[in-house]
Structure 1
Amino acid sequence: MKEFYHIFKKFITKEGYDEAMKRLSNWRLIPLLSVLALMLSGCGEPFISALRPAGEVAKKQYDLMALSTAIMVGVIAIVVLIFLIVVIKFRRKDNKIPKQVEGNHKLEIIWTAIPILLLLILAVPTVAATFNLADTKEMDKQNSNALVVNVRANLYWWEFEYPNEKIVTGQELVVPTDEKVYFNLKASDVKHSFWIPAAGGKVDVNTDNSNKFWLEFDSKKASEANNIFYGKCAELCGPSHALMDFKVKAVPRAEFDQWVADMQDVKEPEQAATDLASQGQDVFNKSCMGCHAVTPSNATPEAARLAPNLTNFGERTTIAGVLEHNEENLKKWIRDPESYKPGNKMTGAYNALSEQELDALTKYLMTLKVQD
């Protein structure tokens, strides 16, 4: 409190006041900084920006944003123009009070009708798009060929189950391009929100009900992004909310079918090829198997899937969704997951490993691949 008093006392002195005014004289920097901030806000990569749509859903939402922005900017510009005209043309030149007259009925009708018309212009396409994007009847049909993905959100990782293909994977979603992919969203602990910025707006993931929607990934945009998009949780869910990321691999249909076939061929954990990896497999079976699976079958009940499926861990692009995929970072994650994702369920879930066990386990995990 005393420090605050001394600062305040210094400010109200002449010297303090002059110093403050001198700093304010640099107001010319404000427009420059504003322009710089505006320019930076337009920066973004094709795989993370909602302003660079990469699919039908994202394009429709982007068009609605552009339409609403154009309407708002147009209204502001017209109002400002009328205001300037009135201020300049009808400014008071004396102290006389002008004659009071009743309102112009035509003008009143016009400025009442225009907002209604603008609301209709915005409301009609918005309502039409809302119903279109919420149409998931195809995924509920029997014997449907629609690709359905059951998304389960956890603290702080994502599980993706393909019920028709009978496979499960974690942290990396694989989808075909140029066709609708239907999602069924459910949370296992707290409320989350599923969001792939480049593909479409976020949808809540609740614990007490399932939300359904669909997305489509454009093949041309996917190619520009090297077939990788970024997804994340968009609902504050805990200390590692900002780190609850996942990757989306959007590939041609033939490549997706091959991935599904390769995953389905994994019936049991592949035996390690080297002595070190074999030692790592033993460590995994003793310390990790209770939570992690290394087979993609969806036969395991949802409630028993305590941690991400690791069947194709060696092919992933990130570790825990936030670290570059390499052996060094994997060791760092296993040693101290709490320092990278505070509050995650892996922290304290196993006994500390020796350096030799850690090397062996890392080598084994990096060999978990289903494709060459």
Structure 2
Amino acid sequence: MSRPSYLARRGDGRYFLQIRLGKQAAQLFGLPLLRVSLRTGNFNEARRRLVDNLGWVQELIEAPDLEAMGTVLDVRLQAYVGRGLPADERLLAERCAFEHEVRRFLTRAQERGYGYPMRFPQMPTLWVDFVNQNKAAETNIARLNVRRSYEAGRREASEATNEGWAPEPKAALPAPPDAFDPIAMIDRLVQDAVTQRLAQLVPANVAPLAPSIAPLAIIAPTESINSGDPAASVSDRMSSLLQEFLRPASQKRQHTMKGRGEAVAVVQFAIDFLGDPRMNELTDDKWKLLDEALPDIPNRDNIPREAAKTLYQRFKYAEARGWAELTRVTTTTIKRRYWGGLYKFSRLDHPGEALQRRALLV
């Protein structure tokens, strides 16, 4: 009759040692079968590890009681700890399997009231040193495996390069989108519109002005906005231009009315906050004040209805009562609704629209 190999394989391809226990050993172990993991899926390596583990496994199976089993484990622990850290994965697999059996022995001894520390006083200390050595060895071997894989990959790449292989060029990554900057966007649109409008206003026989001269300086505010004079736009007050802003557009330009109703609230806030200035009075300092005030507009939560009819009323309510029960509007609201509304207001459909937009951003 051939000798059994005691080698079995799990469903995931990993091998383990398996021995059916006799009646006495089954009562001692509390199991009908003794299984020991070999920590490998390679058949040839599993056979070698099977031979390494059979020695101490047979000693444990032949032990008649816990004291005899403890003697085997104590002697083995002294030998393993005396050898120091395992140098390769095969020795580490043997020690890890033995570690598992020591844990089961300690559990059974505690359950059955066997005082192994009295019989083997060095075992607790040896056990701690043994486990620490295994953990350190696992870390070292894992680091060495990573290094070996790296060196093997680098060697293969070098050989492939010598044979004429060249890596494919990496595709250029798309540039990350720029952060949304409403001020920069409006300023670019304004500059383009001003340049186009000045080209229409300056006669052909007049030399163009130097770039350093402000466009507003060449136009005198003499007539009203309805006359078509662009200078009138910058000399009118914001409230007058707001009425022009709400004037129905022609049927041909009906699409330009979209979104104007939503812009009225923030334009009215600018009028109330700045005191209804003329467009040519919107200095850089006033525009900065308006910019800093927009984040201080709370939402309607916890504000009485009579004090929340306009953005300016909500702004003054927060200024007078504090922010203990109030919540600021989100950055998205400021960018899309407030800045978007001011941008829409800056695009009035009259001849002075370009200069007015320039005045908004002086």
Give the helix-richer structure, 1 or 2: 2
When the two structures are superposed, what TM-score results if normalisation uses the length of structure 2?
0.18
Q: Which has the higher contact order (CA 8 A, sep 6+)?
A: 1
When the two structures are superposed, what TM-score results if normalisation uses the length of structure 1?
0.18
Give the strand-richer structure, 1 or 2: 1
